[in-house]
Amino acid sequence: MSKYARFALALAVGTGLAMGATGPAKAETPKKGGTLSYIVAAEAPSYDLHKESTFAAVHPIRPFYSLLIRVNPENPQSPTDFQCDICVGEVPKPTDGGKTYTFKIKKGVKFHDGQVMTAHDVVATYNKIAFPPEGVASVRKAFFKMLDSVTAPDDETVVFKLKFATGSFLPVLANPMSPIYSAKDLKEHGYDWHEKNVNGTGAFKFKEAVAGSHVDGVKFEDFHMQGKPYLDGFRALISRKMAIRVQAIRGDRAAIEFRGFPPKQRDDLVKALGKDITVQESDWNCVLLYTPNHGRPIMQDPRVRQALTLAVDRWGGSQHLSRIAIVKTVGGVGFPGHPLSATKAELVPLKGYGTDLKAAREEAKKLLAEAGKSDLKFELMNRGTDQPYKIVGTWLIGQWRQIGLEVTQRVEPTKTFYNELRNTKNFDVSLDFNCQSVVNPLVDTSKFIGSAGNNYANMKGQDQQLEEVYEQMLQAPEEAKQRELMRVMEKRALSDQAHMGVTLWWYKINPHRSYVKGWKIAPSHYLNQSLDQVWLDK
């Protein structure tokens, strides 16, 4: 028991932001100096965030850059609290019926090489991301399909004109993968230069990087926020093995890891280090799904798909699976913390979300018998990554065993995994996931629609009704209506048709050395990584 008491204490010492509470009672005065060492689980392919999609690029590179607007570092849990990074004052309200956004840009913001940033740099950046010249890569181009044009009437003003009004524009602007580049750099060095070079307006200047080992940054003296950053520099250390990442914090080779540890590792660290460890926890805007391949005859019968979801003990999994894997929260199609998402009372009537597990599994067996598939055997395709894919996959197989299904696990290397999902469709049921940065359920829930590019259930054109509900929801003007339609969509996608199964939403746990201050956990490992407000209490 003492272990848990100590652990509870550590949690209390941590911010408890996950529960929506306010932060530490009293803000301490930040101390200046010191170098923050943190662990990154993988190596970034390049330094160009516009082209990458991995957090391994965000963690070491984001501190070198600024965004136009960003998630408020003091309140990163909020999906709507954005603040100006290089713009002035409050984030502007749209005009022209929600179709025009006008930003005033801070004066005298400097790039690390001394160039002065103007509105034209912002325009060049967003033109590169939203309207790249032919042959230039921009991974998030599709995010900007509402954008009509971006212009700079003068050096201090940027105007975004949209094709249609939408609440999803600001979240897209706050995406951490859209740092501001210099127009001059883009013009002089071309569109690939940022892959290997860094020139930003962020709190830290690039010092050195050793491939496979670390990235070092030093304080940028001309940073555009007065008095910041507090740190003299940072060192992002690469370590591929979870064991090493935990040990590194235990042995104080690093102070923090920003992605997340499973609870077991948190407990071990707290047990070993007591008050030297502070734990921050949060719901996480990533969800693990299992996706039945609608192209396979055995998965075409909705009764079979319902049986699959009925067998899964989500509330129980939330208790025990959450001790070893980075998943925890029971949820529907939307991020559990968001106002648009279902409450527990709304979830329970859905198949597979009931509180009577025994009855649900009996029903599952009955459905299988009706469908004539009582002795169903199939293969679960999974991605060759331990956390949380393989652990959840193994857990799912155990769940399905409870209703008499014999399931084997086929683990594929990442490229084969994607290739099977996207192109060959050669699987019975696959583990699948959706992981986004800024919480934006209206856009994120497109995952469940057959026509979406990232829907791998092979169900294109099979459920027109679902498509229509989604379209209505997107265009619904007020939140109440959106919320109502999201419930309709949820019921159809997860219960009536059981097209896909939500297992559990991820749960982010960041145990770190207690001397790390000023960093607050966000609902995504992509967010709040500018590090300008972080300081060390040593």
Partner 1 sequence: MGKYILKRLIAMIPTLLGAAVLVFFLLRLAPGDICEVRLLGTGATVAQEQIDICRESLGLDKPQIAQFFDFVWGYFIFDLGTSMWTGQPVTHEIAIRFELSLQLAVMATIVATIIAIPLGIISAVKQNTLIDYFVRGFAIAGIAIPSFWLGLMIILGLLVFSQAWFGEPWMPPIMFKSIWEDPAHNLSQLMWPAVATGYRYSAVAARMTRSAMLEVLREDYVRTARAKGMVEKIVINRHALKNALLPVVTILALEFAFLMGGLVVTEQVFNLNGLGNLMVDGVEHHDFTMTQNLVMLVVIVFVITNLITDLAYAWLDPRIRYS
Partner 2 sequence: MVTVSEIQTEAQFEEVAPKKPWSQVALELCRKQPLGVFGLAIVFVMIIAAILAEVVSPNDPLQEHFDAMLAAPSAEYLLGTDEFGRDILTRLIYGSRTALLVGFVCAIVGATGGLVLGVASAYFGGLFDLILQRILDVFMAFPLIILALAVVATLGPGIENVMIAIILPFIPQCARVVRSNALAIREIPYVDAARALGFSDARIILRHMVPNVMAPYLIMLTTFLGQAILLEASLSFLGLGVQDPTPAWGLMLSNASEFFEGAPWVAVYPGVAISLSVFGFNLFGDSVRDVLDPKMRSR
Binding residues for partner 1, rule: CB under 8 A, are 43, 45-46, 52-54, 135-142, 195-196, 210-214, 235, 237-241, 243-244, 247-248, 250-254, 272-273, 413-416, 418-419, 422-424, 432-437, 446-447, 452-454
Question: 156 is in the binding site of which of partner 2, partner 1, none (Cβ under 5 to 8 A by kind)?
Answer: none
Q: Is position 300 an interface residue for partner 2 (rule: CB under 8 A)?
A: no
Question: 386 is in the binding site of which of partner 1, partner 2, none (Cβ under 5 to 8 A by kind)?
Answer: partner 2
Encoded one letter per residue, x for contact with partner 2 by CB under 8 A and - for no contact, window 259-298 reads ---x-xx-xx--x---------------------------
Q: Is position 100 an interface residue for partner 2 (rule: CB under 8 A)?
A: no
Asked if residue 242 lies in contact with residue 260, where contact means CB atoms within 8 angstroms, the answer is: no
Q: Is position 241 an interface residue for partner 2 (rule: CB under 8 A)?
A: yes
Residues in the chain: 538
Q: Which residue bears the tokens 């280090």?
A: 273
Question: 320 is in the binding site of which of partner 2, partner 1, none (Cβ under 5 to 8 A by kind)?
Answer: partner 2
Q: Which residues touch 86 (CB under 8 Å, ≥6 apart)? A: 66, 67, 68, 105, 106, 109, 117, 122, 180, 201, 224
Q: Residue type for 455, please?
A: N
Encoded one letter per residue, x for contact with partner 2 by CB under 8 A and - for no contact, window 324-353 reads x-----------------------------
Minimum distance of partner 1 from residue 368's CB (angstroms): 30
Q: Is position 322 an interface residue for partner 2 (rule: CB under 8 A)?
A: no
Q: Is position 513 an interface residue for partner 2 (rule: CB under 8 A)?
A: no
Minimum distance of partner 2 from residue 524's CB (angstroms): 22
With CB under 8 A, what is the number of residues at the site for partner 2? 37
Which CB atom, from 83 or from 385, has the smaller least distance to partner 2? 385
Q: Residue type for 308, please?
A: L
Q: Is position 246 an interface residue for partner 2 (rule: CB under 8 A)?
A: yes
Question: 432 is in the binding site of which of partner 1, partner 2, none (Cβ under 5 to 8 A by kind)?
Answer: partner 1
Q: Is position 250 an interface residue for partner 2 (rule: CB under 8 A)?
A: yes
CA dist., res. 276 & res. 226, Å (int): 30
Q: Which residues touch 321 (CB under 8 Å, ≥6 apart)? A: 327, 328, 391, 392, 395, 504
CA dist., res. 166 & res. 317, Å (int): 36
Minimum distance of partner 1 from residue 197's CB (angstroms): 11
Q: What are the backbone dihedrals phi and psi of residue 210, each rounded to the nearest 5 degrees, phi first?
A: -110, 120
Which CB atom, from 289 or from 350, has the smaller least distance to partner 1? 289
Which CB atom, from 307 or from 326, has the smaller least distance to partner 1? 326
Torsion angle of alpha carbons 1, 243, 432, 502, nearest 10°?
10
Beta bridge partners of 110: 116
Asked if residue 244 lies in contact with residue 254, where contact means CB atoms within 8 angstroms, the answer is: no
Q: Which residue bears the tokens 């003492």?
A: 2
DSSP assignment of 290-304 equals: EEE-TTSGGGTSHHH
Q: What are the backbone dihedrals phi and psi of residue 237, each rounded to the nearest 5 degrees, phi first?
A: -95, 135
CA dist., res. 156 & res. 101, Å (int): 14
Alpha helices, H only, 280-431 = 302-310, 314-320, 344-347, 357-370, 391-401, 414-419
Encoded one letter per residue, x for contact with partner 2 by CB under 8 A and - for no contact, window 396-415 reads -xx--x------xxxxxx--
Which CB atom, from 241 or from 377, has the smaller least distance to partner 1? 241
Question: 238 is in the binding site of which of partner 1, partner 2, none (Cβ under 5 to 8 A by kind)?
Answer: partner 1
Q: Is position 480 an interface residue for partner 2 (rule: CB under 8 A)?
A: no
Q: Is position 377 an interface residue for partner 2 (rule: CB under 8 A)?
A: no
∠ CA 457-463-469, nearest 5°, is: 110
Asked if residue 206 lies in contact with residue 44, where contact means CB atoms within 8 angstroms, the answer is: no
- Strand ranges inside 244-326, DSSP E: 256-257, 277-292
Which CB atom, from 238 or from 270, has the smaller least distance to partner 2? 270
Asked if residue 472 lies in contact with residue 455, where contact means CB atoms within 8 angstroms, the answer is: no
Both structure tokens of 371: 């469908």
Minimum distance of partner 2 from residue 94's CB (angstroms): 47
Q: Is position 316 an interface residue for partner 2 (rule: CB under 8 A)?
A: yes
Residues that bind partner 2 (CB under 8 A): 241-243, 246-247, 250, 262, 264-265, 267-268, 271, 316, 319-320, 323-324, 382, 384-387, 390-391, 393-395, 397-398, 401, 408-413, 416
